[in-house]
Each structure stands twice: as structure tokens, then as C-alpha cells.
Amino acid sequence: MEHTSANGACGYSELAREKMWSRIHLIPLLQAEEDRDLVRRTLADRAREKELLGSETKVYNSDRYVLAVSGMKLGTLYMADSWFL
């Protein structure tokens, strides 16, 4: 009788292992599907914006990347941020 319960536990752990590996192998597929959906939505949004505004608009005045630093100016604190001192 012990032999059958041991086989059941072994079978259960084998099914759990297969389930885990199937999920591991599905993650890249699901991520790729999500990425394709994001690209499709972004392109549709840009096309809708271009249709409404007539041209592609830019949010910023420049293409240069500027690091956003909140409450800091060259290592000194603004007075508004002194509440945590």
C-alpha cells in the first residue's frame, strides 16, 4: 500500500515540475505578445495624433536628454526640501 502512495506523490511532483517548466517556457512568448501589443498601440496613437493635429508634435523643445533632478541643485538643498532634515 505504501508503494502506491509513493507513486502518487512522485507523479504529483512530476506534474508540478512540468507545470513550472511550461510556465517558464511561456514567459518569453507572453512578453513578446505584450511587446507587440505595446508597439501596435503606440503606432496607432501616433497615427491618431498625426491625423488630429496634422503633424507629429514633440513634447519637448529639444531632442537633448536632460536629467530631471527634483529638489536638488548642484548638491545643495532647496528650502522647500528641508522638511526631512
The reply to whether 26 falls in a domain is yes
How many Cβ atoms from other residues are within 10 Å of residue 81's Cβ? 13
The reply to whether 82 falls in a domain is no
Its sign, for the CA torsion 63, 66, 35, 50, is negative
Return the C-alpha cell found at 15. 506534474
How many Cβ atoms from other residues are within 10 Å of residue 23's Cβ? 10
Band the pLDDT of 41: cuts 50, 70, 90.
Answer: very high
The reply to whether 85 falls in a domain is no
pLDDT score for 85: 47
What is the number of structural domains in the chain? Answer: 1
**Could you tell me if 27 and 21 are in contact, meaning their C-beta atoms sit under 8 angstroms apart?**
no
Q: By residue range, what is the domain housing residue 13?
A: 2-60
Return the C-alpha cell found at 64. 537633448
pTM, full prediction:
0.49
Evaluate if residue 13 carries a pLDDT over 70.
yes
The reply to whether 56 falls in a domain is yes
